[in-house]
Amino acid sequence: MGIFLVAVATLLVSCGGNNVAATPTYTADNLAQIAIYSDRIQTSKDRLPELAGYIRDENWANIDNFIHGPLGELRTGMNRLAFMLLPDDKAEALELSDEIANDLEAMSAAVTAFDGNRTNKAYIRFAKDLSTFLNMVPTEPTDSTDA
């Protein structure tokens, strides 16, 4: 009976093994794909001073055209980028993408109402959220052996 218990214990210990899952990482190939979308989003961010000028001048037609033109595909690009991120980063990126879409909708509604104050507030939230989104995008490969 003792030998049987030793055999069972040995089997259980040997089969238990190391259940630690490998930590997901960003590889150079992942980052190359991420960079494609990140660069497109950065291009939109680089044009924000143009939008700010339209808001300052209360140029309602140009603000509306900018929101639905150059910024029109922003959410799609952010969502595609988010799905390339690691699970923890992906959830946060998708949440930010939703917030940015809400900021753009608020800005569009303010423009329709010709409300400069609301438009400016929505623009400030939008610019901040867009910067936060871009700051969370990885640029360097991660190595699970560093831990």
26-55 pLDDT per residue, tens? 888 889 999 999 999 999 999 999 999 999
Domain residue ranges of the chain, discontinuous segments joined by +: 27-139
- The pTM of the full predicted model, rounded to 2 decimals, is 0.78
> Which regions of the chain are under pLDDT 70?
1-23, 142-147
Distance in angstroms (rounded) separating the CA atoms of residues 76 and 25: 24
70-81 pLDDT per residue, tens? 998 998 999 999
So what's the pLDDT on residue 146?
A: 44
Domain spanning 27-139 has what CATH number? 1.20.120.290
Task: For residue 58, give every residue at least 6 positions away whose Cβ sits within 8 Å of its Cβ, in sequence order, or none.
Answer: 114, 116, 119
